[in-house]
């Protein structure tokens, strides 16, 4: 098992280029099986989750060619299989998108139940509710999600919660159905909009992505496309938090500043300077980190996927901060790890109270999930002395070239096997 060894406490500086959005790419990859023509997707991040999705597309019978590290060409003409049961797929979340895509293309699917980061119960009832409304039988059985339909017909669907996964999955299932589907109370995250744009570039008729209501007019057929994925909002946010926690001056390039507004606002609140360019942001970390209160919310609110990174930053604030996690009920497992480094944090159900301390100390810690792992990397880079982070495979699921990008900013970090 690999680990990171970090010698912290150094100021960093320079530029970092953000990769394509993992959570957009996973949806677009599943969508690529909806046509028999060539689909070229550019700016895909080279991370574990994406590589597992590509393997799954091959398992379904599609031809997958990696044109270069960040570009893939998929031809799903021969993608005739409808079952995915590989063990790795069960370890990640986004495999649920194959359910919607297979249902649209073959009117049936049997896909291993999604895993992903252990941050709460993460039910899929809203996905199933959507498929059922479209006329499918959709249920969980023996660790699989199973769907089957004679015909898919447009329907009006209201999501009780603004779920990213359910919004995208219902979109995928509905694009080739008969008639019009309206999904209300949808997620508005940038990756939801990007997947809708990707589908529209294949000839789908989706309107309203980015608002509360998405309207999908079913089309008979989709065609090939060449599409470039948007930059990763959370990867960018992680480097922004890095500037804040290490009190450094970092320019984050290849981003869409609009997607980062809630994160920028919080970083400014706690004393940092954020300078916005057309496709870049510069964060100048403040010598004094101010305390604040945060509540995670669906987009355009503060993202739950940035909660651990900001929590770690606030461990070094000069006062008491409060973070309420309103999306996932079990997203504070990293707290025990950061406490080993000297942080003072108490957990009250879905809220944490952080009493700022002057310094964190290098320690051996364990990544508990993807974003928590990244947050611990930030904490270790800010801490005095040497740290080791175990279970970094979590981090490698979502951050392309993390070690090299950090080294380019002047960080003392090594990846070691064993």
**Interface with ligand UD1 by CB under 6 A: which residues?**
23, 26, 93-94, 120-127, 161, 163-166, 187, 304-305, 327-328
> To which H or E segment does residue 323 belong?
strand 320-324
Selecting among 54, 117, 199, 243, the annotated active-site residue is 117
Nearer to ligand UD1, 235 or 305 (CB): 305
- The least distance separating ligand UD1 from the CB of residue 121, rounded to whole angstroms, comes to 6
- The least distance separating ligand UD1 from the CB of residue 60, rounded to whole angstroms, comes to 19
- The least distance separating ligand UD1 from the CB of residue 390, rounded to whole angstroms, comes to 22
Contact status, residue 360 vs residue 384, Cβ threshold 8 Å: yes
Q: Establish whether 380 is a catalytic residue.
A: no
Task: Determine the straight-line distance between the first and last CA of the chain, rounded to whole angstroms.
Answer: 5
Residue 211 burial (CB count, 10 A) = 11
Q: In degrees rounded to 5, what are phi and psi of residue 87?
A: -60, -40
Q: Nearest 5 degrees, angle CA 213-CA 219-CA 222?
A: 110
Peptide bond into 236 cis (omega under 30): no
Which residue carries 């900001």 as its tokens?
310
Nearer to ligand UD1, 74 or 92 (CB): 92
Nearer to ligand UD1, 295 or 364 (CB): 295
- The least distance separating ligand UD1 from the CB of residue 37, rounded to whole angstroms, comes to 26
**What is the Cα–Cα distance from 112 to 279, expressed in whole angstroms?**
39
Nearer to ligand UD1, 3 or 371 (CB): 371
Nearer to ligand UD1, 25 or 272 (CB): 25
- The least distance separating ligand UD1 from the CB of residue 164, rounded to whole angstroms, comes to 4
Which residue carries 């604040």 as its tokens?
292
For ligand UD1, the nearest residue by Cβ is 165
CA torsion sign for 224, 226, 230, 235 is positive
Would you please indicate which residues are annotated as catalytic (active-site) residues?
A: 117
């Amino acid at each position: 098992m690999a680990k990171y060894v970090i010698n912290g406490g150094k100021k960093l500086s320079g530029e970092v280029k953000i990769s394509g959005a993992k959570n957009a790419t996973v949806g677009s990859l599943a969508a690529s099986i909806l046509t028999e023509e060539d689909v070229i997707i550019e700016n895909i991040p080279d991370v574990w989750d994406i590589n597992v999705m590509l393997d799954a597309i091959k398992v379904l019978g599609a031809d997958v060619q990696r044109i270069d590290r960040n570009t893939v060409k998929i031809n799903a003409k021969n993608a005739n299989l409808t079952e995915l049961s590989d063990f790795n797929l069960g370890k990640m979340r986004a495999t649920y998108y194959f359910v919607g895509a297979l249902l649209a293309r073959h009117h049936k699917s049997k896909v291993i139940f999604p895993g992903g980061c252990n941050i709460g119960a993460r039910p899929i009832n809203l996905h199933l509710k959507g498929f059922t409304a479209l006329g499918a039988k959709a249920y969980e059985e023996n660790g699989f999600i199973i769907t089957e339909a004679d015909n898919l017909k447009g329907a009006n669907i209201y999501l009780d919660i603004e779920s990213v996964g359910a919004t995208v999955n219902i979109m995928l299932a509905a694009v080739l159905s008969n008639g019009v589907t309206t999904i209300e109370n949808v997620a508005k995250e940038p990756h939801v909009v990007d997947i809708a744009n990707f589908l529209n570039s294949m000839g789908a008729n989706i309107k309203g992505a980015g608002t509360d209501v998405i309207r999908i007019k079913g089309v008979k057929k989709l065609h090939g496309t060449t599409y470039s994925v948007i930059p990763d909002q959370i990867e960018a946010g992680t480097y922004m938090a890095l500037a804040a926690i290490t009190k450094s001056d970092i320019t984050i390039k290849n981003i869409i500043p609009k997607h980062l507004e809630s994160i920028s606002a919080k970083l400014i609140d706690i004393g940092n300077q954020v300078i916005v360019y057309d496709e870049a942001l510069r964060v100048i970390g403040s010598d004094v980190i101010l305390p604040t209160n945060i509540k995670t919310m669906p987009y355009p609110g503060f993202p739950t996927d940035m909660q651990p990174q900001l929590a770690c930053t606030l461990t070094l604030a000069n006062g008491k901060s409060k973070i309420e996690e309103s999306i996932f009920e079990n997203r504070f497992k990293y707290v025990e790890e950061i406490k080993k480094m000297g942080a003072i944090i108490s957990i009250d159900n879905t809220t944490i109270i952080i009493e700022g301390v002057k310094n964190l100390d290098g320690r051996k810690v364990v990544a508990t999930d993807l974003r928590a792992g990244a947050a611990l990397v930030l904490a270790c880079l800010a801490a005095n002395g040497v740290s080791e982070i175990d279970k970094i495979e979590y981090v490698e699921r979502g951050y392309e070239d993390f070690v090299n990008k950090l080294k380019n900013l002047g960080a003392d970090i090594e990846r070691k096997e064993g």
